[in-house]
Amino acid sequence: MRQRASPRWRIECLPTKSRTTMSSKRNLRAAIKKNGGVAALVETDRFTQMSDEDIRLAAFESRRNQEADITAKMANDNRRNTMLRQAGFDYFDIDELHPHPRNHFTVDDESVLNLAGLIYKSKEVQPLVIRETRDGLEIIDGERRWRAHKLLAERYGDSWRMVPAHCHPLDSLTEQEVEFILNSNNLGQRVMTPSERAEGFRVLADALVEWRKDDPKLKGVKTKEYLAEHFGVSARTAMTNLAIARRLSKRGKALLDDGVITREQAESMSRLTEEQQEKAADILEKSLVPKSEIKDFIAALVKGEDPAPFIHDPKKPARAKRTVKTPVSRDDYLLRARNALVKATQCPESTNAELLEEIKLLIKEL
């Protein structure tokens, strides 16, 4: 039995007065501008296949065309929504979106530039997760992808202005669900620093305090158990990350991210006062404590003990201690004395007469 080929993503243009299939990019653009048609992704083998760039450009022009006439816009929206439900996502202009205000995960320029390069080469991008709010469309997951598209639009034109996204209608998500998506996707997909990962635990723990007020089922749930189940870690690991996020100083987190201290050492350091943490950071930043002794150094500070034995100035290396074998018999002492006298006879300097007489007296006693 011949197997049917799996459907591919295609693009269909449905003009207001016609359902004629367009065979070229030029005809597609003309139909959109003239008839108020819509560009949409559908799963079908019946229509002309187009490149991803053509699809994004068609979506951009379709959006821009909707601003011309309110009647055409309403009709266009209905057709667009009907078809895009089949695809599961829509295309949105990058200027329509804004980041989530509680997204504490850092987005550095280098990572955005690298991601933009990957998207440009592969022509593929995972749809963002956004939601409708009273202030506009808010990004729940995908801020880096959004920024990458902004960069591509600046360099390569309007075809990159449209970014795919799953959009949740207004008030369809609770704040608990938003926090879940925001933190789970970031922690699961991004390469983050240890302090950023710990911050994700703090955000969810703080949100849990508010959720308990509205959800009776959460009132008896311990924070460490909830975090452990949510992130798939042990309760101990959850509390370690929470302590780092809440109590460790900024300099301490930098030491953790740079690999100077481990997560367990960072948790121990978080028990110190702010002043103690600053002093510890001063010492650790200068590499005055060997890596093998950092644990004992921090433990001494926590116990209130003197950490001086663990501090070593690398500019002044410790002098090696000479091990002298202690004689165990009279003959051992005499053997050492004879060797010393042999060296003394070879020395050209004059001899102390009193010292020599004293040695002679000792020899007579033997």
Please provide the DSSP assignment of 20-45 as one string: PPP-SHHHHHHHHHHH---EEEEE-S
Residue 263, domain extent: 193-310
**Domain end: 52, 71, 86, which one?**
86
Q: Is 325 domain-assigned?
A: no
CATH number of residue 133's parent domain: 3.90.1530.10
205 and 299 inside one domain: yes
* Nearest by Cα to 363 from 327, 338, 332, 328: 338
240 and 133 inside one domain: no
Q: Report d(CA 320, CA 96) in Å as an integer.
A: 69
Longest distance between any two alpha carbons in the chain, whole Å: 133
304 and 201 inside one domain: yes
> Which pLDDT belongs to residue 114?
80
211 and 295 inside one domain: yes
Q: Is 353 domain-assigned?
A: no
Q: Is 54 domain-assigned?
A: yes
Burial of 227 (0-12, 13-18, 19+ CB in 10 A): buried
CATH number of residue 244's parent domain: 1.10.10
90 DSSP 8-state letter? E
180 and 95 inside one domain: yes
122 and 210 inside one domain: no
Give how many domains the chain has, as a whole number.
Answer: 3
**Domain end: 263, 291, 310, which one?**
310
Q: Is 320 domain-assigned?
A: no
For 297, residues 6+ apart whose C-beta sits below 8 A from its C-beta are 280, 283, 289, 307, 310, 311
Beta bridge partners of 137: 97, 132
Q: Is 346 domain-assigned?
A: no
* pLDDT (tens place) for every residue of the chain, 366 residues total: 434 333 333 334 333 333 334 444 555 455 445 444 443 333 333 334 455 566 555 555 555 544 444 544 444 455 445 444 544 677 888 898 988 877 766 666 777 888 888 888 777 788 888 888 888 899 888 888 898 999 998 888 887 888 888 888 888 777 777 776 766 555 545 556 888 888 878 888 888 887 788 777 777 888 888 888 777 788 899 999 999 999 999 999 999 999 999 999 999 999 999 999 999 999 999 888 998 899 999 999 999 888 888 888 766 555 555 555 665 677 777 777 777 777 777 777 777 777 777 777 777 776
Q: Report d(CA 148, CA 257) in Å as an integer.
A: 25
> Which pLDDT belongs to residue 68?
46
55 and 116 inside one domain: no
Q: Which contacts (CB < 8 Å, 24+ apart) does range 4-7 have? A: 5/45, 7/43, 7/44, 7/45
Instruction: With beta carbons less than 8 A apart as the criterion, state whether 97 and 130 touch.
Output: yes
Q: Is 331 domain-assigned?
A: no
**Domain end: 310, 327, 353, which one?**
310
197 and 162 inside one domain: no
214 and 296 inside one domain: yes
Q: Report d(CA 95, CA 229) in Å as an integer.
A: 37
- Whole-structure pTM value: 0.45
3-class SS of residue 158 = helix
173 DSSP 8-state letter? S
H or E element at residue 9: strand 9-13
> Which pLDDT belongs to residue 275?
93
258 and 300 inside one domain: yes
Q: Is 178 domain-assigned?
A: yes
157 and 238 inside one domain: no
Give the strand pairing for 128-133 and 136-141. Answer: antiparallel
165 and 99 inside one domain: yes
Q: Is 279 domain-assigned?
A: yes
From residue 214, alpha-carbon distances to 175, 203, 208, 222, 226 in Å are 11, 18, 10, 16, 16
* Nearest by Cα to 127 from 25, 29, 52: 52
